[in-house]
Amino acid sequence: MDSQKPTIKYKPQTARVVPWQQIEVYYQDLISHDLQLQSMLSLVQFIRNSNLEKKLFAYTSMHKLVVTIYEVPEWNREVLHIELNPETKKVHFAYHPKPYEPIEVERICNEEDIITKFNQYMHWLKW
């Protein structure tokens, strides 16, 4: 009897990086349409005004900001998913280390703590 696990053929799910300035405009536009995303905009502005803008790449999915160190990001490979729940005013952070592996570190914070929590992740990840 063969005890080896079946091999999963890996096909990367990549995304297109969006420039930080364009992400900022995206959140400004959503806010102008009464979506409560000011904390996400503040985070993007923080990144843009720091040296992180040159080191990090990102794309968005409505309330979610996905941040990585790769110019060609994969959905679940060394990425930090940051998602705001506008109803609860809570921000969910989830670091995905590799495809087909569980989330490595997951935290929830109040929206006013988004930059502090983001900085903790940057320190922990050594990004």
Q: The whole model's pTM is what?
A: 0.88
Does 12 fall in a domain?
no
Buried b (16+ CB within 10 A) or exposed e, 13-50: eebebbebeebbebbeebeeeeeebbbbbebbbebeee
Q: How many domains does the chain have?
A: 1
Over residues 1-30, mean pLDDT: 84
In this prediction, residue 3 carries a pLDDT of 64
Residue 7 lies in a domain: no
Q: Is residue 15 part of a domain?
A: no
Does residue 4 lie in a domain region? no
Residue 110 lies in a domain: yes
pLDDT the model gives residue 126: 95
* SS3 labels along 10-64: CCCCECCCCCHHHHHHHHHHHHHCCCCCHHHHHHHHHHHCCCHHHHCEEEEECCE
Encode pLDDT of 75-109 as tens digits: 889 999 999 998 999 999 999 999 888 999 999 99
Residue 33 located in a structural domain: yes
Q: Is residue 2 part of a domain?
A: no
* Host domain of residue 82: 20-125
